[in-house]
Amino acid sequence: MNGRIEVPAQRVPGVGERVLFEHGGKSLALFNVDGRLLAIDDSCPHQGSSLCAGQLDGAVIQCRAHGLRFDLASGYLLNSKALKVASYPVEVEGNQVFIIITGQEVVS
């Protein structure tokens, strides 16, 4: 899946909120951390558990299944480069929000 995924206006999360949606068979989680939109795959790279439902602490999401904590901006496991969830840049153009998906995961 490549391209720009438009996030419907009614699905753009407010500050401190998150939204989960499917696009092209891919589950994506979009977070609004202090006005900054951050997008990741919703699947924990450890065992596939949903990350969107995890505990959010600033720009860090904690997987509910095993407690792994990931930096939403980089996708990396905190204090390690051993495990990473795919993260994607988010573009805002006026009132439109797009998640950018390319052939390879891009760190936002």
Residue pLDDT, tens place only, 34-71: 999 999 999 999 888 999 999 999 999 999 999 999 99
Least confident range of 70-74, 91-95, 104-108 = 104-108
| pTM score of the predicted model | 0.89
Three state DSSP letters for 13-70: CCCCCEEEEEECCEEEEEEEECCEEEEEECECCCCCCECCCCEEECCEEECCCCCCEE
3-101 maps to CATH 2.60.120.10? no
Question: Where do we find the tokens 């490549």?
Answer: 2
Question: Token pair of 92, please?
Answer: 């805002």
In the chain, domain spans: 3-101
Instruction: Write the DSSP symbol of residue 4.
Output: E
What gap in Å lies between CA 68 and CA 106, rounded to an integer?
A: 21
Question: Token pair of 11, please?
Answer: 């699905």
